[in-house]
Amino acid sequence: MSAYAPAPAPVSYIYRDEYLILIDKPSGLLSVPGRGAEKADCAIARVQAEFPDALTVHRLDMATSGLLLVARGKEMQRALSGLFERGEVEKSYLADVWGAPAPASGEIDLPLITDWPNRPLQKVDHDIGKPSRTLYETLAVSGGNARLKLTPLTGRSHQLRVHLAAIGHPILGDEFYAAGDALAARERLALHAARLAFTHPATGERMAFEAPCPF
């Protein structure tokens, strides 16, 4: 794994009001601080530098880019966290994968668990793994690879990455779950949190946001 060296570019704000903030996190930036002073620079720290009341609601993998929702204050943090826990936040991702899945769309239903000797890796375990489900839809096929729309129905760590690798179509550039040509195909993980939709806990307004795919 390469050393942590996040880009110094400022956080890109998609939306902000007195209750919540939505940013477009770049690939290579941690969502929250890691262990050690060298990993203190992260998405939430950058937002807190401008908005001291900002609190984490959910996370994206360091290598994943895209929409990250942040609460302003503990009450809104509880409310937004509840939306995620109850499955009331619609999430979709874009991914470029090795090969093209057959059928072109469907559901991946494979239970996942932490691969403890190899943390932070996760693995499929049909005996004690937690239920994990992902919907996929092929949007385009080019050069032997495919662009997929991914909708996680559960929220396990590394779920999309492990599920795609498990069916033989690892995400391009995935340093954890891809190898050989699939790993070398991209300089970064080709996974982007492209869309979030939810009902604003304070206003009751239905909100939907998209972030353009950077790859």
Q: Confirm if 178 and 186 have CB atoms less than 8 A apart.
A: no
Q: How far is CA 169 from the centre of its chain?
A: 18
Coil/strand/helix, residue 147: strand
Q: Which two tokens stand for residue 118?
A: 């190899």
Q: Confirm if 191 and 170 have CB atoms less than 8 A apart.
A: no
Q: Give the C-alpha separation, 116 to 176, whole Å.
A: 14
Q: Confirm if 78 and 69 have CB atoms less than 8 A apart.
A: no
Q: Which of 41, 53, 61, 115 is catalytic?
A: 61
Q: What is the DSSP string of 5-41?
A: ----PPPEEEEE-SSEEEEEEPTT--SS--SSGGG--
Q: Which two tokens stand for residue 197?
A: 């939709």
61 as an active site residue: the answer is: yes
- The set of catalytic residues is 61
